[in-house]
Amino acid sequence: MRVSLLVLLMYFSRVIGRKTPDPLGCPARCQCFSDTVPGSSAVHLVCKWEQINSTNLATLHYPDQVRTLTIRCPHHRKTPSRPPDRLFEGLRKLDRLEIDRCVIDRLPGGLFAGMQNLVSLVVKNARLPDIPQGIFDYVPNLMTLDLSGSDLRIEPFALRSLHNLIHLDLSNNSLNFLANTLGSMTKLRVLSLDYNKLTNIDFRRLPSELTDLSMRGNQITTIHYVGAGGGANTLLRLDLSGNQIDFISATGYINIFPPSLKQLDLSHNRINLVQDGSMQRMTNLLSLDLSFNTLIDAKESSFVGTEQKLKLFLRGNPLKCSCSLDWLLRSIKKGGNTILIEDLYSITCSHLVDQSRVMNLTVADLRNELLCKYTTHCDNSSCSCCDDFSCDCKSICPAGCLCYASNETREKHQNVVQCRDLHGSRLSEIPRSITALNLANAKGSWNTEKIGKLDHLHTLNISGAEISEIQGTSFDNYPKLRVIDASGNELHSIPVKLPHHIHHLRVAENPLRDFTDSEIHTLDQLHSISLGGNRTSFLCDCTSPSPFQRWIRRNRKKVVDLLSVQCELKGVGRVNMVEVLPGRHSLCDNLTEIEFGFASTASGHYSTHRATSNGAVQLTLDSGPQPTTITRSEQKKSTEDQIQRWTK
Ligand SMILES: *[C@@H]1O[C@H](CO)[C@@H](O)[C@H](O)[C@H]1NC(C)=O
Ligand SMILES: *[C@@H]1O[C@H](CO)[C@@H](O)[C@H](O)[C@H]1NC(C)=O
Ligand SMILES: *[C@@H]1O[C@H](CO)[C@@H](O)[C@H](O)[C@H]1NC(C)=O
Ligand SMILES: *[C@@H]1O[C@H](CO)[C@@H](O)[C@H](O)[C@H]1NC(C)=O
Ligand SMILES: *[C@@H]1O[C@H](CO)[C@@H](O)[C@H](O)[C@H]1NC(C)=O
Ligand SMILES: *[C@@H]1O[C@H](CO)[C@@H](O)[C@H](O)[C@H]1NC(C)=O
Ligand SMILES: *[C@@H]1O[C@H](CO)[C@@H](O)[C@H](O)[C@H]1NC(C)=O
Ligand SMILES: *[C@@H]1O[C@H](CO)[C@@H](O)[C@H](O)[C@H]1NC(C)=O
């Protein structure tokens, strides 16, 4: 086509007998393309203008061949311009006009005069404050209109003349209110009102035959839907992501949705409640996105009712690891269920008792940590006396405590008791079969004798309970205990003679003093420990390190809060323990550098550290992303030996 058009034009110019440099008369700063469809003589223009009024379209030799015109103004240009009236009048056969980024302060009423054939009109990022009435009277055949990125505060009344419009984009304007104009646009199917300032939807104000409505990023809190005949009878897809909706209703006229919907996106709202039976009327729904809301629970009864296979999205909600979430996992396992959790592996939940513990839902399920509150609970599936008053295998929650248990028929059964007031609670009545006891922040003194033997206890939380001393023997009654959290108490020392089954000790935020040798022995037997915080009075020294300082150097990996362990460095003050450990940026480097009399070299930074009292020397080669640390025993005390250079 390009060739035949060219041939034609060459012939034409020869007949005229005049040499035309540009046979099309392509306007300045425009590129003209001929259509690639065989037999078509259509021409397409792409113009880069400084502003909407920068060059003259009148130079075109065959304006009737122009089908599409795209005008783009530069990104940076901010000064508004005003297009002349009837600017496009010559382009009678134009079917698509796009004007992008040309800031316009006022559209003349006759701008589109003569454009009977226009089907698609885009005037975006124009920052228009309003649209004159009657401006669209010239373009009665328009089917798609994009007025995004302007400053419109209300939908333009001028839209009324667009009886054939199918697709309307008014996103990124300043609409805070919808009048009745859109309701009369009977052919409108797709409407985008993203990124405006709307605060509610009333479906009666919207075209009745709409199929797609997008209102992302508004400030919508309320949806009014009065039921069948109340507008939006054929709506299939509704996108309300990024609004401020806080609940979904099952009945009434507020925050319910048209039952014709197939896709509903409510992600990034503030939904904290989906009423039971909310989906009962939504029989056509195929996809419901509730990710990134504020749901703490997701009950099955809120979502049942759809007749199709419903895809549900729930990640990014502050869900609690409650047994009411169990159905989410089952619905996937069984496969045939009508609800499919699309983002199951990204859903997280926080532990019901220890809320700072956030787990993947699937992990919580594997560990049998989806808990239910109970007053009485059967400890295992073979317990047969649960209905009797007195029963060995029945847990009864004592007064003053809260009790939670997971599914007793599965492995790793959890039975957690939380008591806040140790005086008021009947500690002697704590069920024998519990697996975790949480007395965090409890008032009153902690008395292990009162509690008695707990054969299955694996976690004891006595953090923030004003405890000033713990004996290792306090834990003799708990043969399965593995984790003790005693953070934030008044402990000056850690328990010695701790039973060997205890692997994890948390004693951060305590006024701990420097450790004795028997306490160091306790540290050795643990798998992990926390002991950071600003209340400790550990001492450290560069030339003769303390026993704890030496321990921590060998056991960095055991200390879960290594970066917040502090100590008192002679002559310097309070520092982080890691700063006096050998390695990069060690505060102790200076001393030894001066002592050994050498400093950084061009080939890398070497630091030596005369460390333990038994004479081990640590050499750190700091010449790359991974410093190499070599510890060896110091046999000869020759300086030459100490200054050995380690190169890769
Ligand atoms: C704008 O266009 C009109 C008509 O094409 C012309 O008369 C006028 O000079 C133009 N103004 C600028 C600033 O280009
Ligand atoms: C909205 O329009 C403005 C100016 O017209 C533009 O800078 C901004 O990027 C647009 N925002 C979105 C989300 O489209
Ligand atoms: C939780 O799931 C995410 C995403 O699937 C994964 O990247 C992460 O490692 C998981 N965490 C645990 C503790 O399993
Ligand atoms: C279940 O309870 C019965 C009766 O108390 C007991 O004999 C049995 O050992 C328990 N089973 C488990 C797995 O705890
Ligand atoms: C406990 O788990 C079993 C096996 O997974 C399951 O069949 C049962 O429904 C669960 N019970 C409850 C109360 O969730
Ligand atoms: C103990 O309880 C405190 C306060 O609730 C909590 O922050 C901490 O994570 C708990 N520790 C363990 C090991 O569960
Ligand atoms: C010590 O730490 C606590 C909590 O980490 C903090 O609130 C307090 O201000 C700190 N005190 C000092 C003296 O730094
Ligand atoms: C070590 O040297 C650096 C800079 O040379 C200095 O800022 C720092 O205070 C010194 N540390 C000690 C403990 O002297």
Ligand closest to 359 (CA) is 3
Judge whether 420 lies within some domain: no
Q: What are phi and psi of 620, to 5 degrees?
A: -115, 125
Q: Is the CB of 575 under 6 A from ligand 8?
A: no
**Beta strands 528-530 and 504-506, pairing class:** parallel
Q: What are phi and psi of 380, to 5 degrees?
A: -150, 165
- Tens of pLDDT, residue by residue over 407-427, are 888 888 899 999 987 776 678
Best mutation site among 365, 370, 409, 413 for ligand 5, i.e. most ligand atoms within 8 A of its Cβ? 409
Cα separation, 626 vs 75, in Å, equals 45
Instruction: Give distance in angstroms: CA of 381 to centre of ligand 5.
Output: 10
**Separation of alpha carbons 588 and 48, rounded Å:** 64
- Cα 292 to ligand 2 centre (Å): 24
Q: Which of 53, 86, 111 to mutate to test the pocket of ligand 1 (most atoms within 8 A of CB)?
A: 53
Token representation of residue 208: 């009745």
Ligand 4 neighbours by CB, cut-off 6 Å: 380, 382-383, 392-393
From the list 638, 594, 586, the residue with the least C-alpha distance to 617 is: 638
Distance from C-alpha of 580 to C-alpha of 540, rounded to nearest angstrom = 8
Going from the C-alpha of 245 to that of each of 239, 249, 268, the distances in angstroms are: 12, 11, 9
Q: Which residue, by CA, sits nearest to atom 12 of ligand 3?
A: 360
User: Higher model confidence: residue 217 or residue 14?
Assistant: 217
CA of 572 to the centre of ligand 8 (A): 10
The answer as to whether 469 is a domain residue is no
pLDDT interval class at 436 (50, 70, 90)? very high
pLDDT tens-digit readout, 456-494: 999 999 999 889 888 888 888 899 999 999 999 999 999
Sign of CA dihedral 585, 591, 592, 595: positive
CA distance 336 to 612: 66
Residue 645 has pLDDT above 50, yes or no: no
pLDDT in tens, 336-371: 458 889 999 999 999 999 888 999 999 999 999 999
Q: How does pLDDT run across 203-213, given as a tens digit for each residue? A: 988 998 999 99
Q: Which residues pair with 312 in a beta bridge?
A: 288, 341
SS (H, E, C) 309-327: CEEEECCCCCEECEHHHHH
Closest CA to 608 of 627, 592, 585, 591: 592
To the question of pTM greater than 0.85 for the whole model, the response is no
- Under 8 Å between Cβ of 343 and 349: no
Sign of CA dihedral 520, 521, 524, 529: negative
Question: How is residue 224 written in tokens?
Answer: 């009014």
The pLDDT value given to residue 15: 34
How many domains in the chain?
A: 2
Q: 162, 138 in Cβ contact below 8 A? A: no
Span 178-186, mean pLDDT? 90
Q: Average pLDDT, whole number, for the chain?
A: 84
- Residue located nearest, by CA, to atom 4 of ligand 8: 590
409 alpha carbon – ligand 5 mean position (Å): 7
Domain annotation covers residue 145: no
Taking Cα atoms as reference points, which of 188, 221, 171, 182 lies closest to residue 205? 182
Probe residue for ligand 6, chosen from 321, 356, 439 as the CB with the greatest number of ligand atoms within 8 Å: 356
pLDDT of amino acid 102: 93
Q: Which of 330, 382, 329, 386 is nearest to 360 (CA)?
A: 329
Domain boundary among 354, 370, 386: 370
SS3 labels along 170-229: CCCCCCCECCCCHHHCCCCCEEECCCCCCCEEEHHHCCCCCCEEECCCCCCCEEECCCCC
How remote is the CA of residue 342 from the centroid of ligand 3, in Å? Answer: 16
Task: Give 484-515 pLDDT, tens digit per residue.
Answer: 999 999 999 999 889 999 999 999 999 999 99
Question: CA 12 from chain center: how many Å?
Answer: 64
Q: What is the pLDDT of residue 67?
A: 94
Ligand nearest to the CA of 575: 8
- CATH number reported for the structural domain that contains residue 240 in this entry: 3.80.10.10
Tell the residue nearest (CA) to atom 5 of ligand 1.
56
Nearest Cα neighbor of 23 from 38, 5, 4 is 5
Q: Which atom of ligand 5 is nearest to the CA of 408?
A: 1
The answer to the question of residue 294 being in a domain is yes
Confidence band of 304 (pLDDT split at 50, 70, 90): confident
Q: Residues near ligand 2 with C-beta < 6 Å? A: 125, 127, 149, 172, 195
Q: Is 28 in the pocket of ligand 1 (CB under 6 A)?
A: no
What one-character DSSP code corresponds to residue 55?
Answer: S
pLDDT value at 603 more than 70:
no
User: What's the pLDDT score for residue 595?
Assistant: 36
CB atoms within 10 A of CB 599: 12
Write the pLDDT tens digit of every residue in 229-267.
Answer: 777 889 999 999 999 999 999 999 999 999 999 999 999
pLDDT-based confidence at 324, cuts 50/70/90? very high
**Tokens at residue 608, please?**
């030596």
User: Which ligand number lies closest to the CA of residue 355?
Assistant: 6
Question: How would residue 629 be classed by pLDDT, with cut points 50, 70 and 90?
Answer: very low
Q: Which atom of ligand 8 is nearest to the CA of 542?
A: 13
Are 431 and 454 spatial neighbours (Cβ–Cβ below 8 Å)? no
Domain limits for position 641: 582-648
Structure tokens at 61: 């030799």
Q: Which bound ligand lies closest to the C-alpha atom of 53?
A: 1
What phi and psi, each to the nearest 5 degrees, are found at residue 42?
-70, 150
Give the residue, by CA position, lying nearest to ligand 5 atom 3. Answer: 409
**How far does the centroid of ligand 1 lie from the alpha carbon of residue 54, in Å?**
7
482 Cβ inside 6 Å of ligand 6: no
The residue type found at 400 is: G
Q: How many whole angstroms from 534 Cα to the centroid of ligand 7? A: 6
Could you tell me which residues are beta bridge partners of residue 239? 214, 265
User: Which atom of ligand 6 is nearest to 440's Cα?
Assistant: 2
Strands across the sheet with 348-350, in order? 319-320, 348-350, 358-360
**Does a structural domain hold residue 512?**
no
Distance, CA of 431 to CA of 416 (rounded, Å): 10
Choosing from 318, 353, 370, the residue where a domain stops is 370
**What radius of gyration do the chain's Cα atoms show?**
38
As a whole number of angstroms, the distance between CA 588 and CA 567 comes to 13
What separation in Å is there between the alpha carbon of 643 and the centre of ligand 3?
46
For residue 123, the surrounding DSSP H or E stretch is strand 120-124
Is residue 646 situated within a structural domain?
yes
Of 346, 370, 394, the residue at which a domain comes to its end is: 370
In a domain, 499, yes or no: no
Task: Give the closest ligand to the alpha carbon of residue 536.
Answer: 7
Pairing type for strands 459-461 and 483-485 reads parallel
Q: What atom in ligand 8 is closest to the CA of residue 588?
A: 13
Among all bound ligands, the one having the nearest atom to the CA of 111 is: 1
Write out the H or E segment, with its range, that includes residue 31. Answer: strand 30-34
- Does the pLDDT of residue 536 top 50, yes or no? yes
Distance CA 69, CA 44 (A): 6
Judged against a pLDDT cut of 50, whether residue 594 lies above it is answered with no
Residue 22 has pLDDT above 70, yes or no: no
CA of 535 to the centre of ligand 6 (A): 19
The residue nearest atom 3 of ligand 8, judged by CA position, is 590
| Residue 610 falls inside a structural domain | yes
Binding site membership of 590 for ligand 8 (Cβ less than 6 Å): yes
Cα–ligand 1 centroid distance for 74 (angstroms) = 18
Q: How far apart are the C-alpha atoms of 541 and 611, rounded to whole Å?
A: 10
Tokens standing for residue 499:
């039973």
Q: What pLDDT score does 483 carry?
A: 95
